[in-house]
Structure 1
Amino acid sequence: MTQNSTEIVVGGLVLAVAVGFLAYAAQVTGVQSSAGSYPLTASFRSLEGVSVGTDVRLAGVKIGSVNSVDLNTETFRADTVISVKDGIEIPDDSAITIASEGLLGGNFVEIVPGGSPFMFEPSSEIEDTQSAVSLVSLLLKFVSGSGE
């Protein structure tokens, strides 16, 4: 009987540690439900380095994440849905760009606020987009001396 109860206690501890690890991993990676946020859409020519879960930042502060990425087969652009935390209002003339954390860092989505007194409504489309700049193609142009 003692061996059986010991196995139950050890199994319970392992299960508790696993649940704690999953909760910690979700918190660190920023995985959260979409409650308390609203969606915005944007269409990019290139989303190089961006995928579902990528940070959306405003002034360097994380305000949301990328929810979905789909290829529009008619326009051949990447249609993207982002979520922005409730309470953060974004002017409707703002731009959205793909920015890099540095030469070796990853990419993130950056919102550059405009000056309009009107704000985006949920599910609005941000029309002013700037795609990712490929560092490899820039280096190849520099090395080859291409002026194009």
Structure 2
Amino acid sequence: MAASNKTVESDASVAAFLAQVEPPERAEDARALIEILRDLTGLEPAMWGSAIIGFGSVHYRYDSGREGDMAAISFSPRKAELALYVGASNANVAALLPALGKHRTGKGCVYVKRLADVDAGVLREVLQTAWANRLANAA
């Protein structure tokens, strides 16, 4: 039996989720990211799983045959930092990161403690590039 994707879009309220985000500064940064992503995508945010705010949906299929749906672009306002799911290992995203400002990267994520620590223009370019990548690679 194939494993099912645990992170699926839900009808949960983004506003209710944000009201519980700590610290308050992280919630404010999340609201700012929502506005940027609304502008870039033309879409409204939705909850994916219990703690991810996503925009749009794309279908994926791995060479292994596993497939499913995921947010086209998303982020999670975690207690310690914002996790931006932007495909950080994609060459065109990675090329932008040296100019971003204070951040760290993981497998496909960019982690930022505060939006004030990064260049707003470069952040917008990273998000736009990630959005374009996801749409171009959608199955």
TM-score normalized by the length of structure 1:
0.29
**Structure having the larger proportion of residues in helix:** 2
Q: Which has the higher contact order (CA 8 A, sep 6+)?
A: 1
